[in-house]
């Protein structure tokens, strides 16, 4: 029995003597300047110096910054010929028929309206709103397209059609926030083109009167058309066509009753000043207005279908280009930039640096699951970087982070990564001894069993 104990002791000593060659653990702390490795403890000043090295993140292809917008500018039908009416004989008095009072509510933005965005000047974020600043300085607005959208540079298409001004402001605000652009702006309607009142007949300037934010009254519409073009108003009548109904106001009643002058008109109303009291002339005018509206609506429907097809084709081409780039990255045909993670971390491997952005030590460290709580030494976290203009691994700076002090982890959120960096977490001393024991134990057991036999 005594000889067995002596034999086991000798074998244990022999195995321990050989353990230096049996287990080799990677380490950094033992290197010095003579080894070509300079170990530097991280501090705010060291982080600032390390981040000064020239580096520009990879750019994404242009297809990732373009949008599938269609052609700009309103689309519409060709101009219809001017109406031609024949004079008619005047009959007797005309019955007064007044249209009912209406309240259309807040103005709603429509196709053809021009919106003007104004942004504050002199702030650092204004340069990011180049398109918006140009609109302010050059008084260039954004026209609402046939699909109800406006197209803002660097932001994209925003749907504002059939919205109030407040609702449009909310929609633009959300898109500016999503695009990470300063959302300070003001919005106004520079040109009212979507809502109109048609005026014809015996007026000096037949045409259309736009409907804006403020109510539009009968007297104002007649004044905008240059006033009545008649020699005597005793038998003249103003006919108003609205929603399939025809109303009429003799001019004699109009001038004697100010309440008639304050009749509110709305989008789609048509006025015809008839000097003959004959429905034939008014009917021809209103039929032409209706035909013009139907023709324009049909042309706009065709234009919208054409625009949707064009956008669909462009979107497909952009997506195909983007997918081709993703496939090239996946198969390694597109050169990626990586940082390599080793040592006592949860998931060793490599961390791909993002496109058009900078990553820091904390990103790579926690992408690998952080250091192992059971085997890693948080006081020995290294970021190793080859010196600039050097392709040989012996000229390396090892930035050491003492993570045992949790406050130092803030430095990991500021130390920027560079392609080819190596993140290494050393093992704890007890981990090294445990691995040695685990490696030699089977050998001791086998030698002990042999000695007994």
Rounded to an integer, what is the distance from CA 421 to the centroid of its chain?
33
What is the pLDDT of the chain when averaged over all its residues?
78
Give mean pLDDT, residues 416-423.
91
Tens of pLDDT, residue by residue over 252-261, are: 888 888 899 9
Question: pLDDT tens digit string along 136-169?
Answer: 444 458 999 988 999 888 888 999 999 999 999 9
Radius of gyration from C-alpha coordinates of the chain:
41
> Which tokens go with 405?
């002090």
Q: How far apart are CA 207 and CA 198, in angstroms?
A: 6
- Residue 431 host element (H or E): helix 429-452
Place of tokens 């981990």: 431
Strands 349-352 and 270-274: unpaired
Query: What are the CA-CA distances from residue 36 to residues 32, 39, 68, 380, 394 (Å)?
Result: 7, 10, 54, 19, 5
Cβ(142)–Cβ(123) below 8 Å: no
Whole-number pLDDT of residue 262 = 92
Nearest to 310 by CA among 68, 62, 112: 68
How far is Cα 409 from Cα 48, in angstroms, rounded to an integer?
15
For the ranges 126-135, 227-236, 259-268, the lowest mean pLDDT is seen at: 126-135
Q: Both tokens of residue 304?
A: 């919208």
**CATH 3.30.1950.10 boundaries in the chain:** 108-191
C-beta of residue 225 within 8 angstroms of C-beta of residue 197: no
Task: Name the helix (H) or strand (E) containing 425.
Answer: strand 422-427
pLDDT-based confidence at 450, cuts 50/70/90?
A: low
Average pLDDT over every residue of 111-124: 76
Lowest model confidence (mean pLDDT) among 199-213, 314-328, 367-381: 314-328
CATH 3.30.1950.10 assigned to 108-191 = yes
**Predicted local confidence at residue 280, as pLDDT:** 61
Superfamily of domain 26-58+336-443: Outer membrane lipoprotein wza domain like (3.10.560.10)
Assess whether pLDDT exceeds 80 at residue 77: no
pLDDT, tens digit (0-9, with 9 covering 90-100), for 212-260: 999 999 999 999 999 888 775 557 889 999 998 999 998 888 888 889 9
pLDDT above 80 (res 15): no
pLDDT band at 86 (very low <50, low <70, confident <90, very high): very low
pLDDT tens, position by position, 362-416: 999 988 888 888 888 888 999 999 876 555 555 888 999 998 888 888 999 999 9
| Residue 296 vs residues 189, 254, 402, 421: alpha-carbon distances, Å | 23, 33, 73, 64
Judge whether residue 81 has pLDDT over 70.
no
pTM over 0.85: no
Share of residues in the chain with pLDDT > 90 (%): 28
Tell me what pLDDT residue 19 has. 47
Domain with CATH 3.10.560.10 in the chain: 26-58+336-443
What is the distance in angstroms between the CA of the first residue and the CA of the last residue of the chain? Answer: 12
């Amino acid at each position: 029995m005594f000889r067995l104990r002596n034999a086991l002791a000798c074998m244990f000593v022999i195995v321990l003597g050989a353990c230096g060659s049996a287990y080799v653990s990677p380490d950094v702390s033992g290197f010095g300047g003579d080894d070509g490795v300079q170990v530097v403890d991280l501090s705010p000043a060291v982080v600032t110096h390390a981040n000064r090295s020239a580096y520009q993140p990879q750019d994404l292809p242009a297809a990732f910054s373009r949008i599938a917008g269609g052609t700009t500018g309103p689309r519409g039908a060709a101009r219809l010929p001017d109406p031609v009416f024949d004079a008619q004989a005047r009959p007797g008095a005309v019955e007064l028929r007044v249209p009912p009072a209406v309240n259309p509510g807040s103005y709603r933005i429509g196709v053809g309206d021009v919106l003007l965005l104004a942004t504050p000047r002199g702030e650092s974020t204004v340069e990011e709103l180049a398109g918006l600043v140009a609109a302010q300085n050059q008084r260039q607005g954004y026209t609402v397209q046939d699909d109800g959208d406006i197209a803002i540079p660097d932001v994209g298409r925003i749907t504002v059609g059939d919205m109030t001004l407040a609702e449009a402001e909310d929609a633009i605000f959300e898109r500016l926030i999503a695009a990470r652009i300063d959302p300070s702006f003001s919005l106004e309607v520079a040109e009212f083109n979507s809502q109109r009142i048609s005026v014809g007949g015996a007026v000096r300037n037949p045409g259309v009167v736009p409907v804006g934010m403020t109510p539009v009254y009968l007297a104002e519409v007649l004044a905008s058309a240059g006033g009545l073009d008649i020699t005597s108003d005793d038998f003249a009548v103003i006919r108003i066509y609205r929603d399939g109904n025809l109303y009429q106001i003799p001019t004699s009643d109009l001038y004697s009753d100010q309440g008639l002058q304050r009749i509110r008109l709305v989008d789609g109303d048509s006025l015809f000043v008839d000097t003959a009291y004959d429905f034939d002339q008014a009917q021809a005018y209103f039929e032409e207005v209706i035909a013009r509206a139907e023709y324009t609506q049909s042309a706009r429907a065709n234009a919208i279908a054409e625009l949707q097809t064009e956008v669909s084709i462009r979107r497909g081409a952009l997506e195909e280009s983007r997918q081709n780039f993703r496939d090239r990255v996946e198969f390694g045909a597109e050169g990626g930039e990586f940082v390599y993670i080793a040592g006592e971390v949860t998931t060793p491997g490599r961390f791909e640096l993002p496109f058009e952005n900078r990553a820091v030590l904390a990103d790579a460290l926690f992408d690998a699951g952080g250091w192992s709580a059971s085997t890693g030494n948080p006081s020995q976290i290294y970021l190793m970087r080859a010196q600039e203009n050097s392709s040989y691994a012996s000229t390396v700076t090892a930035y050491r982070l003492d993570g045992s002090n949790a406050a130092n982890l803030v430095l990991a959120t500021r130390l920027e990564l560079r392609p080819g960096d190596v993140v290494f977490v050393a093992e704890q001393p007890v981990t090294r001894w445990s691995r040695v024991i685990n490696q030699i134990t089977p050998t001791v057991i086998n030698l002990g069993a042999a000695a007994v036999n």
